[in-house]
Amino acid sequence: MIIGIVAGIFGGLVGLGGGVIMIPLMVGIRKLSQHKAHGTSLVALVFTGLAGAVTYFLEGSVDIPAAAFLAAAAIFTARAGARFAHALPEWKLKRYFGGFLVCVSVFLLTKPYLPSLVLSTGEWYKAGVLLMTGICTGFLSGMMGVGGGTIMVPSMVLLVDMGQHISQGTSLLAMVPAGGVGAYTHAKLGNIEGRLLAGLIPGIIIGTYLGGRLAHVLPDTALRIIFAAVLIGTGGRYLRAKAPEMKIIEKC
């Protein structure tokens, strides 16, 4: 539960899912394998997305058709992402996850300075962007054990000119079916530590709520710098994961 609360607070502060914090904590403290940490994180984040989506929906900040386009594409690639992660040796999955954390850090630091890239206001353009975003997000979610808001939110804000709050609410709704498919695939592959979910799920829901409340009090720039520094440090450690040494047995 403590891991869930900490991950939820950090995620709520900067508007990201708690998976990027929850996974390293489960590996470092609970000594889960990288594969099980990804699968277990994804299960917890499905419940977080559901709770968050309901909250945003009650505030009128969810675009249901957009969420449907995102989810329709993501549910097909989430399974492939989970299977791809399962096929990787643990040291290589750690390196991929480390690279992902560094990319998230760069995005957090550059987010306020990114220009709008809307090329058209047509419905076909919007649908195409959402479908392509869903394809990429589903694979990343299944592979990395994260919700996918890192891709969905900036894509909706920068490419289709959707408001920040609506983008966040829409991404939360879309990640429920997509994350559910990825979590189900991880479960079939044996990558979920079910005994941890009773604490993780309520913990991350509580933490996300607390983080969202604190985000309106603390300065945004300082939050992004601190969070990015934590992720860069963690990502750098993961990038240094070494392949196991091969033992050569000589025949006499």
Q: What would the pLDDT profile of 60-73 be if each residue is shown by its tens digit?
A: 888 999 999 999 99
Residue at 244 is within a domain: no
Interhelix angle 64-87/164-188, rounded to 10 degrees, is 40
Average of per-residue pLDDT across 203-211: 84
247 within some domain: no
Is residue 51 a part of any domain in this protein?
Answer: yes
Could you give the percent of the chain with pLDDT greater than 90?
Answer: 39
Query: CB count, 10 Å around CB of 229?
Result: 13
The structure tokens listed for 222 are 């300082």
Residue 246 lies in a domain: no
In a domain, 120, yes or no: yes
pLDDT tens figures, 152-198: 888 888 888 888 778 888 888 898 898 899 999 999 999 999 999 99
Asked if residue 233 belongs to a domain, the reply is yes
DSSP letter at 30 equals S
- pTM for the predicted model, two decimal places: 0.83
Indicate the DSSP class of residue 15: T
- Tell me how far apart the alpha carbons of residues 232 and 211 are, in angstroms, rounded to a whole number: 20
Q: Write out the residue range of the structural domain in which residue 47 sits.
A: 2-239
Domain count, the chain: 1
- Residues 196 and 212: their CA atoms lie apart, in Å, by 24
Structural domain contains residue 90: yes
Residue type, 126: K
Is there a contact between 201 and 44 (Cβ–Cβ < 8 Å)? yes
12: in domain: yes
Q: Are 3 and 193 in contact (CB under 8 A)?
A: no
For 1, the token pair is 């539960």
